[in-house]
Amino acid sequence: MNPEGDASPAAGDIALECRGVGHGFGAKTVLFDVNLKLRRGQFLSMVGPSGCGKSTLLRAIVGTHPPRAGELRLFSTETGDQGKVIDGPGRDRGIVYQQYSLFPFLTARQNVAIGPMLDQTSLAFRCLRRLRWRRLRRDQWRAAGDMLEKVKLGDAMDLYPHEMSGGMRQRVALAQAMIMKPEIILLDEPFGALDEATREDLQHMLLNLYEENQKAVRQGLRPPYTLIIVTHELNEAIYVGDRLVGLSQLWDWRKEGHAEAPGATVVYDKPTPVFDSKAARNFERFTAQREEIRRVVFEPDPPCDRHQHVVYWRECRTRPNAPQTDPDPHPLA
């Protein structure tokens, strides 16, 4: 069910669509009727109570845990407006976990370069087309260096994982995902194990990537990064994204005739302020929205209709000319 009807964007603007997605494990239902459209170039933050299925939804998008109900569609220049049903993992999706996915015996640059090296050539190609393979390998090596420069690790390319801090390793993991140029990048609580100072640095790095998107759009180009980040930290969720989705099992399911709780679904979907990476953080600017999210997603009393706060596309339609850099495009106070 799509509560927002024709308020959704044109098909060509969409990168990902969840259509009535449901999932569970054994007899336990975790996700129920999740409907979501993600605009290309968007940074979507996802929050919700523990156990509500945030990571489960990310794994369904990655393709390792196909949904029990509904479908997920990924859109690209190759698939056209119809998209393709996600039925397994693919290079068009990248994921970064809280635990770093680095090879301990490779340097930072080797860790980033190994993905395209293995993806773009077969063993037969490397053996039979040796000269072309060497040229391609040089290009991939150069691209890995450029990507590490982008995540501010230009001076750490030759370090091994054990020689890096947690924040540095997480930057390498993000570079691993970005170098594959996926349609969408998924971050599953990527900063959860980091100290506050390192976490702030990485938040600013995400804002820099978002600003690259904005620059591309102004030039009439396709935005290079589309991202979903799952986090438990509400300030972070509002700060690094331009849209926030709340998943929760705490909604008024009895109103829809269910005898028992059917699982978590989308109960909150609204725009968030867009921040300048060069400006000082000021969480007080979104105090009202943070409290609204807490009240609707985490501590509903009583639980509300699940569609009441799912208004992202409706708000976009009523504010078609709102500047992307507006620091507080939808004050709630």
Q: What is the pLDDT of residue 323?
A: 38
Q: What is the pLDDT of residue 133?
A: 65
Q: Region 182-201: what's the mean pLDDT? A: 89
Q: Region 262-273: what's the mean pLDDT? A: 95
Q: Region 146-167: what's the mean pLDDT? A: 93
Omega into 190 within 30° of 0, i.e. cis? no
pTM (two decimals): 0.86
The band of 123, judged by pLDDT with boundaries at 50, 70 and 90, is low
* Sheet (strand 93-97) strand order: 93-97, 184-188, 227-230, 43-47, 243-248, 265-271, 309-310
Averaged pLDDT of the chain:
86
In whole angstroms, how far apart are CA 238 and each of 151, 177, 203, 285? 21, 23, 11, 10
Instruction: Give Cβ neighbours of residue 137 (< 8 Å, ≥ 6 apart).
Output: 117
Q: What is the pLDDT of residue 78?
A: 76
* Sheet (strand 84-85) strand order: 28-39, 14-25, 69-74, 84-85
The band of 91, judged by pLDDT with boundaries at 50, 70 and 90, is confident
Q: What is the pLDDT of residue 321?
A: 42
Q: What is the pLDDT of residue 121?
A: 58
Strands 93-97 and 184-188: parallel
For the chain, what are the domain ranges? 5-92+182-318, 102-165
Q: Which CATH superfamily is domain 5-92+182-318 in?
A: P-loop containing nucleotide triphosphate hydrolases (3.40.50.300)
- With a pLDDT cut of 90, the percent of the chain lying above it is 65
**Least confident range of 25-29, 211-215, 253-257, 325-329:** 325-329
What digits encode the pLDDT tens for the residues 54-74? Answer: 999 999 999 999 999 999 999
Q: What is the pLDDT of residue 318?
A: 61
Q: What is the pLDDT of residue 184?
A: 95
pLDDT of 322 strictly over 50: no
What digits encode the pLDDT tens for the residues 26-48? Answer: 888 999 999 999 999 999 999 99
Q: Region 232-236: what's the mean pLDDT? A: 92
pLDDT of 155 strictly over 80: yes
Q: What is the pLDDT of residue 324?
A: 42
